[in-house]
Structures are given as C-alpha cells and as structure tokens.
C-alpha cells in the first residue's frame, strides 16, 4: 500500500474494501458505504476533537531542544490537564521519519521541560527511556493556553505539508481530547448522516481520547495502545441495547470506538454509560461482546490497529485482505482508503451466516422515517 500524502479527508476517489462475516471480499467506492448497512443498524463514532499534542520544548538541564508528544491523560475532565504521559523526541520535527529522529537527552525524574511559557516536570520514567509521566507546574487554563500557543497536530513524514488543526478534526468533532485524529471518522459527512436517517439507520457518538499510533521505536510501539479514557453517553448505551434487541448490528467507526465499547461491555453485551478507562488490548483472542462490524482505515500487519482487526476476522481472511489492498494499490494512513469488516459472531446459526454473507451491497434503497440518536456532549 502507498501512503496518503495529502490531508484530504473525503477525496472523491476514496475506496472501501468490504469483508462480510463469511470472509467474502468486495471492492467499492467509499461513498457507497451506507449501502452495506441495513435498517435497524447503528453506527457509533468517536466525536473527540484532536488537540495540538506535538509540543516544541527545551530540556532545561542540558539546554537541548526536544519535542514532547502528549500521549495519555487520566480523564476527559477539562481541568484535569496537569498530568500526562508523553513520548519525547530529540531535535527535529515531523519532516524526519520517526524511526530516524534523534534521541532526547537522558531523562531523569525531576527534569524540567520548558514548553512555551510554562514548565513540565518529569515525574516518572514509564518502562522506556522516552516514555515519561510529566506534571505541568501551572494552572489548567495556562496549560491549555500553552498547548494552543505552541502546539501542532502530531504528524508524520509521509505527509507533504504541515497539518493545520482543522485538517485533523472530523466533521463531528466536539471535546478536544484526542492526541491523534480518530481518523476513521473522516469518512463521515452531513450528507451521509442524512442518508442514514432516511434509511432507518441509527447514529450515536462516544468520546474517546485517541492515542498516538507510532513512535518509531519497536519496543515503545509494542506498548501501544496506552490506557485511554472514554465517555459513553446514556443515549448511546440505550441505543446499543435497542439495536441488539431488534437484531441490528452495532458498527464502530474506528478502532477507538471498538476499544471504548468493549471496555464498557457487560457479559450480556449491554454497555455501561458514563466515564471509564479503556485498558483492553483487543486482538485475535478477544471475544467481541458489543461491536458487530468496523469501518477503519487500512493498516499494516504488526500495528496495534491491525491487531485489533484480528478480533473481527481470521488471520487467513486478513491475509487475503492484505493481498487485495496491495494489489489494488489502496492508500494507507489517516487520509487513506478504508476497510469494512464484519465480525464472525460466536453462536450465530449457519443460516444467519449465509444471510450475512449476502449483505454486502444488497440492501434496497428507499425512504423511511428513520431514527437518529446523537450522543450527549455534556
């Protein structure tokens, strides 16, 4: 696959590779995504806005320039912004591949990092020399002002130009809590949401602090994803229960939604509303309790996002998907093409599996009264 190098969220030529529960693969334009859904299904998207989490800084003890990439926080509370987990890089910026970035000075507990007009103190080394806990020596309002004043969106060398903040906000962006864009949501637009309503397909939101996707260090990347706070509104939890009770599917728009919903899942597949922290590392051995299908970007084997897809489809199916993506030259990374993968559910009858295999591109078009559920943003 080739990297998508331009920050265009909804290019006309965007493609979608669909995989149903029986492993059947189909190539489609991404604009036809809604045709894969049925009346009574529910889409759940992450409404997190992306903060400018790449912060130029100075390591005070040595006077060296560094980059601090905020990677984790404890909660979604807007006033709880003094403590973060961060990945620290040496001199340079996004134009250099993360794999080739210089190392920072050796970090020790007590080091002061000058970030704009405020200071952050290293409070812990978190199992890797470049992964640290920091605490800002400032008030929350001053921390937000510093992040807004000097921060830039986290980005990578495959992009051609610097990202603006609006490049990494999805059309439904709300609370600024994500460290990188929940980019599966780039496929959404208001026309699509209107079409969902007309077809009787539900739409709901959660908020999840999407973390960083790559550090350029294999040992550090193996620690991803970090624990991430989320919020599930009551209307969203109730919509999920109604959807399953009516025989509809819950479709996650992105890996962060899967992680939040499965972390909040009860044994019966219902979801606890409220705030929580996603600690699950979802992969091949994970039994999905809530999510029936996922719309995601295209991911390379070995990444944490790809590992999550192994909960939806057998490795043999994903290997065929990889070959199809490579041979058809799909674009990867956050502004690239998409995949739609329907999970093979345990306890599903063979007749249901056959019907599921026939769902791709088979739903009748037409008008309906529809219902839309939008998550609270309070």
For the stretch 191-243, pLDDT in tens is: 999 999 999 999 999 999 999 989 999 999 999 999 999 999 999 999 999 99
Give the pLDDT confidence score for residue 302 in this predicted structure: 85
Give the pLDDT confidence score for residue 31 in this predicted structure: 95
Give the pLDDT confidence score for residue 1 in this predicted structure: 80
pTM of the model: 0.90
Cα(250)–Cα(229) distance, integer angstroms: 21
Q: What is the 3-state secondary structure (H, E, C) of the chain?
A: CEECCCCCCCCCCCEEEEECCCCCEEEEEHHHHHHHCCCCCEEEEECCEECCCEEEEEECCCCEEEEEEEEEECCCCCCCCCEEEEEEECCCCCCCCHHHCCCCCCCCCCCEEEECCEEEEEEEEEEECCEEEEEECCCHHHHHHHHHHHCECCCCCCCCCCCCHHHHCCCCCCCEEECCCCHHHHHCCHHHHHHHHHHCCEEEEEEECCCCCCCCCHHHHCCCCCCEEEEECHHHHHHHHHHHHCCCCEEEECHHHHHHHHHCECCCCCECCEEEEECCCCCCCCCCCCCCEEEEECCCCCCHHHHHHCCCCCHHHHHHHHHHHHHCCCEECCCCCEEEEECCCCCCCHHHHHHHHCCCCCCCCCCCCCCCCCCCCC
Residues of the chain with pLDDT under 50: 346-378
Cα(315)–Cα(322) distance, integer angstroms: 10
* Domains of the chain and any CATH numbers: 2-49+163-357 (3.40.1780.10), 53-150 (no CATH)
Give the pLDDT confidence score for residue 345 in this predicted structure: 59
Give the pLDDT confidence score for residue 375 in this predicted structure: 38
């Amino acid at each position: 696959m080739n990297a998508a190098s331009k920050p265009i969220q909804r290019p006309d030529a965007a493609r979608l590779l669909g995989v149903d529960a029986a492993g059947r693969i189909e190539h489609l334009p991404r604009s036809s995504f809604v045709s894969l859904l049925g009346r009574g299904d529910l889409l759940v998207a992450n409404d997190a806005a992306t903060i400018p989490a790449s912060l130029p800084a100075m390591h005070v003890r040595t006077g060296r320039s560094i980059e601090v990439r905020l990677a984790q926080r404890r909660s979604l509370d807007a006033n709880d912004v003094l403590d973060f987990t961060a990945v620290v890089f040496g001199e340079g910026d996004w134009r250099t591949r993360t794999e080739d970035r210089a190392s920072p000075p050796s970090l020790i507990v007590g080091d002061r990092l000058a970030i704009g007009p405020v200071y952050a103190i290293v409070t812990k080394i978190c199992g890797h020399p470049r992964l640290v806990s920091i605490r800002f020596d400032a008030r929350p309002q001053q921390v937000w002002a510093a992040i807004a004043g000097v921060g830039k969106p986290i980005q990578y060398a495959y992009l051609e130009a610097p990202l603006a903040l609006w490049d990494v906000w999805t059309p439904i962006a709300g609370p600024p809590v994500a460290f990188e864009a929940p980019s599966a949501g780039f496929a959404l637009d208001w026309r699509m949401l209107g079409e969902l309503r007309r077809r009787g397909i539900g739409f709901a939101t959660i908020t999840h602090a999407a973390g960083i996707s790559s550090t350029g260090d294999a040992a550090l990347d193996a620690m991803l994803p970090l624990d991430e706070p989320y919020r599930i509104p009551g209307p969203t939890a109730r919509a999920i229960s109604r959807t399953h009770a009516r025989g509809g599917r819950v479709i996650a728009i992105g890996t962060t939604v899967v992680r939040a919903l499965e972390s909040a899942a009860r044994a019966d597949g219902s979801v606890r509303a409220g705030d929580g922290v996603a600690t699950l590392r979802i992969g091949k051995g994970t039994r999905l309790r809530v999510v029936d299908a996922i719309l995601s970007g295209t991911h390379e084997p070995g990444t944490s996002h790809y590992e999550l897809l192994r909960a939806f489809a057998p490795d043999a199916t994903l290997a065929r998907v990889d070959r199809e993506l490579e041979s058809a030259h799909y674009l990867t990374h956050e502004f690239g093409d998409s995949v739609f993968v329907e999970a093979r559910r345990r306890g599903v009858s063979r007749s249901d599996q056959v019907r599921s295999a026939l769902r791709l591109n088979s739903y009748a078009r037409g008008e309906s009264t529809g219902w839309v559920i939008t998550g609270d943003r309070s």
